[in-house]
Amino acid sequence: MITDLEHIKTTIENKGVKASYQRLKIMEYLLKTKNHPTVDNIYEVMVKEIPTLSKTTVYNTMNLFVEKNIIKALSFTGVETRYDIVTQSHHHFICNQCHKIYDINTACSFMCDNHKIINGNKIEEVIGYFKGICKECINNKT
């Protein structure tokens, strides 16, 4: 299985990150639940497995993972940063009603301006997401 600890160890070490116990377990969590968790989300779950865990460690770990390109930091309307495992490029859809976050893997034109030059400015990254009403909420309208 993909969430095997040994496998995770080599995975993050290949990215140049030493595999401490907390880093391994946090990575395991990120791989298992493909949510887009906040630091608080992660801390609340992991502190049950690692009672000595500090929230600072979660922050440090997330910052390190972002730096090493293992995860991506997402900032939607809310205040808190959310994190996403870097797999293949995909987009996000946030429901204005239930606030659920959906991954969008369907081809769409969102990234088509990537690496273009507009007004002389060289675009390196297109950052963004979709907002609207999700399928479930459309059906559930009473």
Partner DNA sequence: ATTTATATTTGTAATGATTACAGATTTAGA
Partner DNA sequence: TCTAAATCTGTAATCATTACAAATATAAAT
Q: Applying CB under 7 A, which residues contact DNA?
A: 17-18, 20-23, 38-40, 50, 52-57, 59-61, 63, 79-81
Closest to DNA by CB, 26 vs 134, is: 26
Residue 118 near a copy of itself by CB under 8 A? yes
Closest to DNA by CB, 30 vs 134, is: 30
Give the span between the Cα atoms of 45 and 86, in whole angstroms.
Answer: 21
Question: What letters, b where the CB count within 10 A reaches 16 and e where it falls short, cover 97-113?
Answer: eeeebbeeeeeeebeee
* Contact by Cβ (8 Å): 44, 79: no
In degrees rounded to 5, what are phi and psi of residue 103? -80, 140
Residue 98 near a copy of itself by CB under 8 A? no
Least distance in angstroms from the C-beta of 141 to a copy of itself: 11
Closest to DNA by CB, 18 vs 122, is: 18
Residue 16 near a copy of itself by CB under 8 A? no
Bridge partners for 94 per DSSP: 101, 131
Give the span between the Cα atoms of 114 and 109, in whole angstroms.
Answer: 10
Residue 121 near a copy of itself by CB under 8 A? yes
* Contact by Cβ (8 Å): 83, 124: no
Q: Which residues bind a copy of itself (CB under 8 A)?
A: 75, 77, 93, 95-96, 102, 104, 106, 108-110, 112-113, 116, 118-135, 138
